[in-house]
Structure 1
Amino acid sequence: MIKKLSTILILGLLTVALAAAAPGPRHVYLTWQGDTSTTMTVVFQTLTPVDDPVVYFGPDSHEKLSEYPSQTKGRPTKFPGLNRWVHFVKLTGLEPGQTYYFRAGDSKNGFSTERKFRTMASESEDVRFVTGGDMWIEPATFELMKQAASQSPQFALVGGDMAYADGKTSHVNFWDKWLDGWDKYMVTPQGYMIPMILAVGNHETRGGFGGKPEDAPYFYNFFKQDARGYFSRRLGPDIIVYVLDSGHTNPQGGAQAQWLAKEMERTQNIKNRFALYHVPLYPSYPGVFNNPYESGGRKHWGPLFDKYRLKAGFENHYHTFKRTKPLRGNKVDPAGTVYLGDGCWGRPPRKVKAQLDWYEAKTASRRHVWLVDVSGDKVHYRAMDPHGKIFDEYEN
């Protein structure tokens, strides 16, 4: 009897020890699948299947899971070709402009440390966000993450070519390093996680261009923002972002252009309208202005940007810095759209043209991220380098 009790005690202690040592989720990050004021999607990954992915959350910090007033169960997705499960937990019924604390995980793998986020406000307020693309896992990528987070942005717009895995299962370690960096560095000084809204790029896609959603498995299975790959997000009452696919897993014309026309017409009264995509309409890299996807963007999207007076297009792809003059109808127009790019959030800068083109206000071979402040109908854009130096500014 004593031996049996001892065995039970040892097994019990071992179970407690294993539970205490459970590493928790492999990654935890935030995005949106719906209303940014009343929902938040918490995403976490595990290396084994689980039956009970869950997020415990509430408006106050707690030490024990049982103390959180709310919990939401998630839905796991098996990543094709890998022993990797991605769990999406959409928190709904949240209060606008409210801080929430949470822990994510499951009983088998354990839970994350406590994190926090803030929903977007439902009334007009000043908003700050960051945007850029073409990152990979360079030391400069993480330096720019740290600089971006130090400015306390409320969200990040990421314009493609994040981990450079090219849709290959053999490159999952690239995504692990990228997500580890995001988790470590993209946290504000106040401790808030920074939700991301992402556009697909050629380095998310097997073959780069002309593919289908299944050719970009990480983009669609790690984030699940929208099944089509193009969508819009309302960020408070004064901001909307149209997230587009510049020919990687959807044609630029056809259904995507038709959707964009209807969406821009429907939302034309929102004060600040931005677009996020990978391949620029107005590139700063030499010799590519008439390439198929650059000219395709100008053909299918440019007239809509002009008609509905897009405030700014956030462009990427060429690993350079660029700010255009305000443009409308492929001409300089003081009331036109400014195009900011061209994706150099970590990747080594490429050379720009020897002389400015007719549409360019400023270009440089320089790593950077864009810091954007919105106040009412005024927007202030600042380009920041890995040392935190602001080297360009614009307002419209």
Structure 2
Amino acid sequence: MNDSLDRLIHTKKILAGIVFVVAGVLFMVAARVIPSVRELGWLTYVPWTELGAILVGAGVFSIWLDSYFERERGEADEARLRRLLAEQAPAIRDAVIRGFAFENDDLRRVATPALLDAVIGNSLALRLDDREFAHELYADIRDQAVQSIERWHDLKISIRLSMLNRITEGDPDSRPGLNNMVITVRHEYTTVPASPVRQFVSLSDFEEYRELIQDPASTFAWYYRPGNGVDAGTKDAFELVQFTVDGEERPIRRTSRKGAQTYSVTLGIPEAERHHEHTISYTYRLMPAQHNRLLHFGLDQPTRGLDIELDYSDTDITHVNMIDFIPSIQKSVAVRSPDTVPGKTIGLQFDGWVMPKGGAAFVWVRNGDIRTTGEGQVDGSRS
């Protein structure tokens, strides 16, 4: 492209020189013709011959001079450009790096997703000094973040375990205070909703459950293993009792079928506010299987700030262990109520980002799980 431009400029210079020569020749011809025409006698005072000679000389000289100095001028321009680049290269490099590092709009104009992935992967490989590890690590984090369509902030999960004290005739395991535990859970977080509808599904079909969890932004699924004594299609097994958006309650619609039930809620957010952050909270109640001693809460979306608290004051639970699944160098804070206070709570607080599938699990021991041997020793067993 540069060669074509140079040839075009050179051609224009030659044409300009030819125009000067032709004009000079015409002036010389006019100097000979004008004296023979009486009506043009007044033009004889103009030095046509001298003007023509000047134009011819200027045209020939410009063509010769341009041809003579063209190579030297090219070499001088190239040397000047190299010197300029050598002097300004550090400043240009720093400006480009700063622009890519801090100006997202500038980077977005020139970078495709594939280019961004290559830049980040290669930069991480340099930092970790392991190309394969860096690219696989980045690909895993990228896929988790890109596939998540919402970002949750300040998620608070409050869990309360309590006893129904309901007695079933003929069932020796239904003594008051032993079984029939109910779990009440409240979630609250801030996000920009990706879907105008939320669904809560309780079911016992594992294949359907796996399909539902592929859309965690709009569907909350709770799975009951068949044969554990709990019918997933009943309100005793699972019930959504409250749903609010920015503190305003939303109506809840329930449908049921054999072995499953669905609760649907429309967020009711105006179109003008769809892209703003809103505080979403909901409360549901569920009943675990009689032999269940485990409760696991996994996050569905990337979440910044997590606060989980389990209150088991109104139960016959003697001890609770908590396990967190937060792969981060930033430590989480475990909080347990002291023995000197009436209430019994255990919880987890974490201020950083938690990726999907992270969360916490609680495992407990109840009075009915403990028996005393003849030697006075205490053993734990599953009831």
Task: Flag whether TM exceeds 0.5 (same fold).
Answer: no
> In terms of Rg, which structure is larger?
2
TM-score, length-normalised on structure 2? 0.26
TM-score, length-normalised on structure 1? 0.25
